[in-house]
Structure 1
Amino acid sequence: MRFSTREVVDLGAAWVALGIAFTLFLDRGLAFSLVWGDLALSAVLDTLAVSMVTVGVGFLLHELAHKVVAVRFGQLAEFRADYGMLALAIGAALAGFLFAAPGAVYHGGRPITERQVGLIALAGPATNVVLAGVFAPLLAVAPLGTVGQLGVTINLILAGFNMLPFGPLDGRKVLGWSKVVFAVSFVICAGLAALSLAFVGTGF
């Protein structure tokens, strides 16, 4: 699997921008400190590190899962960042709400089946569910509890949100392939997201 220079730059830019956006959203005090000019650098770096490890890794592996499966089916696939949307995500976080549509993996080449298109789409949310399981043991480790909470909750929210059957989201492509697979996947992802919000939280 190969990565072009542009793709690496786009992935890096999206990772950093999402880390900054979630940092500002998760810790409202940082946004106010930025406005008033009394920003504590150590607090920023701590929250940014947690955001990059949880949100950033969840996003990156979600997109790379799409790419891996697309390449497996003989497609040419590359991630492209949407820089306008990345700027909007940071601006929205400063305003106190969250909106993130950082870009997408675009693939093409030889014709593929609806099943293959569906599997490419499903790979992203499935990866986020697996990542939530990877972060879950950290909930029991006191110094890393916040990382575990955010890693579990954010990844399950990403999975649930992306399984919505609308617009360019993964759920629409899965639904186009199989109503049964979509229904099962949606119930699992949305249900886990709801449970994580109710019982795990973000730690902030």
Structure 2
Amino acid sequence: MQIWEKIPIRERRDLLIAWLALSAAFTLAMVWGQRFDLLNIGLFFIISLITAGIAFIIHEMAHKFTAMKYGYWAEFQMNSMMLVVAVAMAALAGVVFAAPGATVIYGNSISREENGKISLAGPVSNLILIIPFAAMIFIGHSAGSGLLAIVGLVGVKVNAMIAAFNLLPVGPLDGAKILSWNPAVFIGVALVAFGILFGSLTGFF
């Protein structure tokens, strides 16, 4: 079965809607407080599609296909209310609270280790994505391309934010399941994610 065939039409629809909504939310957050400029908004929306959109899709697909590797069926299901909240908070306060939904795993016999590794796949995928975006910053500065450097910087920040947020050891977030499975792995990945996030927010990159 090809990868595309493992993503049902309903799941594709949910992924597309969540991708567009999250990109809109990040766009509103980036232009919040600035003078209305349609061209600027359009530019940041494209940047958000590339950075936040790809970060979200890869994160959820990492969960899905890791679960399928263990023999479970898994599908992303969007949360319409949380998508509305994300866009509204970005528009009103310039803050993105990104909880667009979750990848639901179908199976009653999933072990703590399997659940931990499936949960780990999402944040780790975002940490891996930081590498090409960090390269964009370097190439952009070297080639004198401010736009490429901006895309790279936004990509680093967004992926670090998504990884760090999902690693919080609370509720249904990935961090709680990883911690329950292997505290040492949780601490190591969390230190990397929050370290990169701190560096991206304090101008290290």
Please give the TM-score of this superposition, normalised by the length of structure 2.
0.90
Q: Contact 1:149–1:200 at 8 Å: present in 2 too?
A: no
Q: Does 1:7 align with 2:11?
A: yes
How far is 1:163 from its partner? Answer: 0.7
Equivalence for 1:186: 190
Structure 2 portions without partners, runs of 5+:
none
Q: Contact 1:153–1:200 at 8 Å: present in 2 too?
A: no
How far is 1:152 from its partner? Answer: 0.7
Structure 2 counterpart of 1:98, from 91, 96, 99: 96
Q: Which residues in structure 2 correspond to 1:13-162 (within 5 Å)?
A: 13-29=17-33, 33=36, 40-96=37-93, 97-109=95-107, 111-140=109-138, 141=140, 142=145, 143-162=147-166
**Partner SS state of residue 202, structure 2:** helix
How far is 1:109 from its partner? Answer: 2.2
- Note the aligned Cα RMSD (angstroms): 1.4
Amino acid at match of 2:197: A
How far is 1:184 from its partner? Answer: 1.4
Q: Give the fraction of aligned pairs with identical amino acids, expressed as a percent.
A: 38
How far is 1:188 from its partner? Answer: 1.6
More displaced stretch, 124-133 vs 140-149: 140-149
Matches of 2:184 and 2:149 in 1, distance apart?
36
Matches of 2:110 and 2:81 in 1, distance apart?
31
How far is 1:110 from its partner? Answer: 5.3
Structure 1 portions without partners, runs of 5+:
34-39
Matches of 2:200 and 2:164 in 1, distance apart?
11
Q: Contact 1:61–1:127 at 8 Å: present in 2 too?
A: yes
Runs (4 or more) in structure 1 with deviation over 3 Å come to none
Matches of 1:133 and 1:190 in 2, distance apart?
15
